[in-house]
């Protein structure tokens, strides 16, 4: 039923959208969406927009699910009674989950959701005191490092009842260091014009510079006030409550001792003979590999002094970069490029984690180098040098450049880490990915309190002993990782009797045997076959295939369930140390911690865990529920079920506490909040940190990291890339349950090994391969079929109709007129250069729009919204953007990550434009009086002329009955529009360059007189310009028969840029244009639509004539007078890309201003 409602609501929303588009203003202020126009809309337009919004809201609720149920009321009533005082919130009523479901299921841009989210985040942030109220004292038997001291700027933070402390303010004075004194010298922006992270985490808070720095004590969140008891032996606690073992054979619903709890929430998980139980939410082992990176970023207890944390309390990717200048120097190249060595990291602890952990960290190393290379290439502030100029820099200047690029790249990379935490990690914790929901909590956002004061951000953070204990998630260790851990322990300790390993033996062996090589470039770790990975002897990098195999295996392996008796025996000594460490720290009890978090304390062991066997055992060990230790209490507590809003499914107390800690971690770091700016990260770097909507990952960003660093090993539709934190078979089941199930869009099998890609740069060979369509296959046809939903396309049918009018030479004059009209309309007086000087963005406002108007009016009959036709359906810039997406998807894109986004966008464009064309064709073919009248009325209402009827009628004359004519027209014309514009831009840019003054004078002379001879000369000059700078740098073909590789199919990368400079064909000085003997190179353009040779030859001279007839045409001064071009290198060959006005990388030129005299 919900699928039907969603389908109906979607159709209504689409219709309402069309009406709203038609009635919206012409957009004089450049607004690009209806949401930007609502404030200025009135009358019918406002009604249409409200109708559209209402229909979209209904559609979203039908797809996402209900935000509220009647059964939720008891949880809200309990919260009202106990939020600030009372017995504490009963977390068995699932209040947090119900709030999360409420927020995530409300329609986008809902004001109530925004207000509620601010409240929830503010509450979670204030769950913990900022700054901390107390610190652990240094070990009295060791030299004291001293605890940091901060002023208590808000005493209420430390004495507000259940939320943040005890109202009586009592504390264990013997084990607590209280803070009183402020720091006076913030390390903010010292000696550099940009913000940069320090090596040790100092200066991350603008208020207290040393807060949370490496080498400082842990904070104490909960003062222990319950008198101590004679604790049971730590080994006995592990064996009785924590050790993984098979279940007793009972199945089904467990009883609950809490009469107010929702029934049926607790089940005994099914275990195999070793005691392993699969995670109930389908989380993969890779989720916990990433959790290891988070945990190791903020916890590294000093072995000599357990009160000291050797890493910072921030998510600064310290496992990659280290926690000191010494660590940093080990991983940095220091060569002026800001890069790290290949596939390195600074934290040797990761070498002794399951191999998927260091493999994942290596991807962040690669991401840093990718970012640093992009920052150097883009050079946003124009201060960097590269190549020979970099080699010639003195050491001080080289170091300064390296420091700046490294620092900015680290900020961007940490931004990525943060976004993976919020998007993938927290998204999986809350079950949002599993439920197909893109909504996310945003704890980084700026907000204000009810009294209008700004909510605190960037004021620092210190991790506490309680959360050090809370994040020990050994029960989740997969069977594969358990087997690997057992193998390592057997190698190191020489025994499989893991219960015999003592704490002293463990510590002594670690100190003696597990010391990594001082040179991080020599570090390695095990592959899937448990053999050490081998680095490349020249680059130092690991094989992509080895890393991919580890990540595949981790995605396929189900994680373990959180449960009592779920921790593998091999980790017994580690767990015993954890229990004893908590005792030495003087950790609060389980109930004291719950009281501090505002939760209802347990009244009995059976309320803590309703499994009778577990509760009786715990009662035998501790006697009274108030004596239950924090660490065993957290690890053996009854686990949450996988309901909406709950994806991690740990114990209830852990589930509540980790959200508070997550908010504190990111909100307290100034580099993730107040200093997370386009200036510090650069515009490109800032935008690079954020995920794209509708990328098939439901709000995740790790997807992009996998595609960026291992692009050949993750196909575009692979669930291994789109949902790496959920086992593919489990995710397939979840997707099937979603409304309008998208399961058919994904591939759930392990990706196959990629085919070899070889590079070809020789002109004649490249030319021959491009001509051999059967032996060297393009993916264009399959993409077109996918786009329009049919395999019955007939490109030649449409091309013949186009050629018919080309031969009649009707189009050149039309395109010249459109181009001249756009120049006149879009030009603005340049008052700084004289009253008769004008300037115009020749790319954005003219060349990119001219073919759009031509196609809309002369070929397809698309109603464009202009001042003359205010009720048109699409604005010109909107059409240009849509057509560019289609072109990118069908003809240019080779990024598997972007494949999904472009396919989804262009499918919508295809349906919208094909629907318009179909209406015209039915009217012209006389197919039904209703359709004929409807299309005529639409044309009349939108102001659309009928010029396109001539072309469409010509297509219909030759179209066989039953053919997909509208789809064929779309597939032939629309994908070629943006490349036509790009070709014109490249030509214009070439002739406007200062070094082409004489060539430009020749071109201008040819434009003055219209003749066939002059047009041929103009076209020849244009072809020479495109030879030197082709509109397509390269194309890829599939070598079907393996002609280039001994019969093995492979991908052939054809560099058109290099082939066009082949000296054996174009002479020794091939890089220079030969205007006296111009010769066409290879353009990479498809020979149909607007990029067919006949259409280009017919219309390019006309377009150039309209532009270069302008008096004294020249590039505008400054950066805006040039294309923002960047050149990447692939297979040693150049790939030209561009930056748009938002500094996003795009295959299409976005802007270039020119000046001329009127």
Q: Is 474 annotated as a binding residue?
A: yes
Token pair for residue 470? 């809370």
CB-hemisphere CA count at 13 Å for 830?
19
Cβ pair 312, 204 in contact under 8 A: yes
Q: CA 677, 679, 680, 685: dihedral to nearest 10 degrees?
A: 80
- Kindly give, in sequence order, each residue whose CB lies less than 8 Å from that of residue 162, ignoring residues fewer than 6 positions away: 84, 85, 88, 595, 596, 597, 598, 599
Whole-Å CA distances, 554 to 474, 486, 567, 727, 732: 16, 17, 19, 9, 17
- Kindly give, in sequence order, each residue whose CB lies less than 8 Å from that of residue 750, ignoring residues fewer than 6 positions away: 552, 556, 720
- Strand order, beta sheet including 828-829: 828-829, 837-841, 1153-1157, 1111-1115
The phi and psi torsions of 1129 (rounded to 5 degrees) equal -125, 125
- Kindly provide the residue ranges of all beta strands, DSSP E only, lying in 108-153, ordered along the sequence: 134-135
CA distance 170 to 944: 78
CA distance 215 to 206: 19
CA distance 1015 to 521: 61
Closest CA to 94 of 599, 531, 594: 599
Task: Supply angle C-alpha 351, 357, 358, rounded to 5.
Answer: 50
Length of the chain: 1158
Q: Strands 757-760 and 1050-1055, how do they pair?
A: parallel
Cβ pair 124, 443 in contact under 8 A: yes
State the greatest distance between any 2 C-alpha atoms of the chain, in Å, as a whole number. 104
Helix (H, G, I), strand (E, B) or coil at 836: coil
CA distance 745 to 831: 55
CA distance 94 to 278: 23
Q: Which residues pair with 1050 in a beta bridge?
A: 1039
Closest CA to 1101 of 987, 997, 989, 994: 987
Token pair for residue 1089? 């639509």
Whole-Å CA distances, 521 to 329, 348, 542, 621, 892: 12, 12, 11, 49, 37
CA distance 869 to 746: 42
Q: CA 114, 120, 124, 125: dihedral to nearest 10 degrees?
A: 40
Helix (H, G, I), strand (E, B) or coil at 441: coil
Token pair for residue 1099? 């219309």
Closest CA to 746 of 496, 533, 433: 433
CA distance 355 to 367: 19
CA distance 562 to 280: 9
The DSSP symbol for 533 reads: P
Cβ pair 751, 715 in contact under 8 A: yes
Helix (H, G, I), strand (E, B) or coil at 155: helix
Q: Which residues pair with 1130 in a beta bridge?
A: 1133
Annotated binding site: which residue ranges?
474
Mark the binding-site residues for heme b, compressed into ranges: 474
């Amino acid at each position: 039923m919900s699928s039907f409602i969603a389908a109906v609501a979607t159709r209504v929303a689409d219709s309402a959208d069309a009406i709203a588009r038609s009635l919206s203003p012409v957009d004089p202020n450049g607004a690009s969406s209806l949401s930007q126009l609502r404030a200025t809309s009135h009358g019918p337009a406002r009604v249409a927009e409200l109708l559209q919004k209402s229909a979209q809201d209904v559609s979203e609720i039908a797809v996402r699910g209900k935000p509220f149920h009647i059964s939720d009321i008891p949880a809200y009533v309990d919260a009202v009674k106990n939020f600030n005082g009372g017995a504490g919130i009963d977390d068995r009523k699932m209040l947090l989950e119900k709030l999360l479901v409420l927020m995530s299921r409300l329609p986008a841009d809902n004001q109530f959701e925004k207000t509620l989210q601010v409240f929830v985040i503010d509450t979670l942030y204030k769950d913990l005191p900022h700054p901390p109220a107390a610190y652990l004292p240094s070990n009295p038997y060791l030299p004291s490092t001293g605890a940091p001291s901060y002023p208590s700027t808000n005493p209420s933070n430390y004495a507000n009842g259940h939320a943040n402390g005890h109202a009586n303010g009592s504390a264990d004075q013997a084990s607590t260091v209280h803070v009183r004194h402020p720091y006076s010298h913030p390390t903010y922006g010292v000696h550099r014009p940009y913000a940069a992270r320090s090596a040790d985490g100092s200066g991350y808070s603008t208020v207290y510079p040393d807060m949370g720095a490496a080498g400082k004590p842990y904070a104490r969140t909960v003062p222990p006030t319950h008198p101590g008891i004679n604790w049971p032996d730590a080994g006995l606690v592990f064996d009785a409550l924590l050790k993984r073992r098979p279940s007793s054979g009972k199945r089904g619903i467990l009883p609950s001792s809490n009469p107010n709890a929702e029934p049926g929430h607790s089940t005994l998980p099914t275990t195999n003979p070793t005691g392993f139980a699969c995670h109930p939410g389908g989380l993969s082992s890779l989720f916990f590999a990433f959790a290891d990176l988070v945990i190791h970023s903020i916890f590294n207890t000093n072995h000599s002094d357990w009160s000291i944390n050797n890493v910072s309390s921030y998510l600064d990717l310290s496992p990659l970069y280290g926690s000191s200048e010494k660590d940093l120097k080990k991983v940095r190249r220091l060569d002026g490029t800001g890069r790290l060595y290949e596939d390195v990291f600074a934290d040797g602890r990761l070498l002794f984690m399951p191999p998927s952990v260091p493999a994942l960290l290596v991807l962040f190393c690669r991401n840093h180098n990718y970012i640093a290379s992009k920052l150097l290439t883009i050079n946003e502030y124009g201060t960097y040098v590269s190549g020979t100029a970099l080699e010639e820099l003195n050491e001080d200047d080289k170091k300064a450049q390296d420091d700046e690029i490294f620092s900015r790249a680290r900020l961007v990379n940490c931004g990525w880490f943060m976004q993976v935490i919020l998007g993938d990690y927290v998204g999986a914790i809350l079950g949002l990915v599993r439920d197909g929901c893109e909504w996310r909590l945003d704890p980084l956002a700026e907000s204000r309190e009810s009294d209008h004061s700004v909510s605190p951000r960037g004021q620092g953070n210190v991790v506490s002993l309680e959360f050090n204990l809370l994040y020990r998630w050994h029960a989740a260790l997969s069977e594969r990782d358990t087997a690997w851990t057992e193998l390592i322990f057997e190698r190191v300790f020489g025994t499989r009797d893991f219960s015999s390993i003592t704490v002293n033996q463990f510590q002594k062996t670690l100190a003696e045997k597990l010391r990594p090589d001082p040179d991080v470039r020599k570090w390695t770790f095990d592959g899937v076959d448990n053999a050490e990975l081998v680095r490349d002897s020249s680059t130092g990098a690991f094989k992509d295939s080895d890393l991919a195999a580890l990540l595949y295996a981790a995605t396929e392996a189900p994680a373990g369930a959180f449960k009592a008796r779920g921790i593998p025996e091999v980790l017994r000594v580690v767990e015993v140390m954890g229990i004893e460490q908590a005792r030495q720290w003087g950790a609060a009890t389980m109930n004291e911690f719950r009281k501090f978090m505002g939760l209802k304390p347990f009244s009995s062991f059976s309320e803590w865990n309703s499994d009778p066997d577990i509760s009786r055992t715990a009662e035998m060990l501790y006697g009274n529920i108030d004596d239950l230790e924090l660490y065993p209490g957290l690890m053996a507590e009854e686990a949450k079920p996988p309901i909406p809003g709950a994806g991690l499914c740990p114990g209830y107390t852990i589930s509540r506490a980790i959200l508070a800690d997550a908010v504190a971690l990111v909100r307290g770091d100034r580099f993730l909040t107040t200093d997370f700016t386009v200036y510090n990260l650069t515009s490109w770097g800032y935008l690079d940190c954020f995920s794209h909507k509708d990328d098939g990952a439901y709000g995740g960003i790790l997807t992009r990291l996998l595609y960026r660093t291992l692009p050949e090993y993750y196909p575009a539709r692979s669930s291994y890339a789109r949902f790496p934190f959920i086992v593919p078979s489990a995710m397939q089941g979840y997707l099937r349950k979603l409304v309008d199930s998208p399961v058919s869009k994904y591939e759930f099998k392990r990706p196959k090994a990629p085919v070899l890609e070889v590079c070809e740069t020789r002109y004649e060979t490249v030319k021959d391969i491009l001509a051999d369509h059967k032996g060297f296959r393009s993916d264009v046809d399959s993409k077109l079929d996918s786009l329009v939903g049919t395999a019955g396309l007939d490109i030649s049918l449409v091309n013949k109709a186009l050629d018919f009018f080309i031969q009649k030479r009707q189009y050149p004059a039309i395109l010249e007129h459109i181009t001249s009209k756009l120049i006149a309309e879009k030009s603005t007086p340049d008052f700084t250069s004289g009253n008769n000087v004008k300037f115009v963005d020749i790319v954005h406002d003219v060349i990119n729009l001219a073919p759009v108007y031509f196609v809309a009016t002369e070929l397809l009959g698309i109603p464009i919204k202009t001042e003359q036709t205010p009720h048109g359906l699409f604005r010109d810039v909107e059409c240009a953007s849509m057509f560019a997406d289609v072109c990118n998807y069908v003809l240019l894109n080779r990024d598997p990550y972007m494949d999904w986004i472009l396919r989804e966008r262009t499918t919508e464009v295809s349906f919208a434009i094909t629907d318009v064309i179909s209406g015209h064709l039915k009217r012209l073919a006389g197919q039904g009086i209703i359709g004929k009248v409807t299309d005529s009325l639409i044309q009349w209402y939108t102001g659309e002329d009928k010029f396109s009827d001539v072309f469409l009628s010509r297509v219909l004359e030759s179209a066989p009955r039953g053919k997909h004519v509208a789809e064929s027209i779309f597939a032939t014309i629309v994908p070629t529009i943006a490349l036509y514009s790009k070709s014109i831009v490249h030509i214009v840019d070439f002739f406007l360059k200062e070094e082409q003054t004489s060539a430009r004078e020749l071109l201008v002379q040819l434009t003055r007189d219209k003749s066939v001879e002059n047009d041929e000369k103009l076209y020849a000059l244009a072809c020479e310009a495109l030879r030197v700078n082709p509109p397509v740098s390269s194309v890829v073909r599939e070598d079907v028969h393996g002609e280039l590789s001994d019969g093995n199919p492979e991908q052939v990368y054809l560099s058109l840029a290099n082939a066009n400079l082949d000296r054996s064909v174009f002479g020794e000085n091939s890089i220079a244009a030969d205007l006296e003997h111009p010769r066409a190179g290879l353009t990479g353009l498809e020979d149909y639509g607007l990029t067919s040779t006949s259409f280009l030859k017919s219309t390019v001279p006309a377009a150039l004539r309209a532009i270069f007839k302008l008096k004294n045409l020249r590039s505008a001064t400054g950066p805006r007078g040039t294309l923002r071009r960047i050149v990447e290198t692939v297979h040693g060959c150049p790939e030209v890309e561009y930056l748009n006005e938002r500094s996003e990388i795009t295959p299409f030129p976005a802007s270039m201003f020119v000046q001329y005299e009127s």
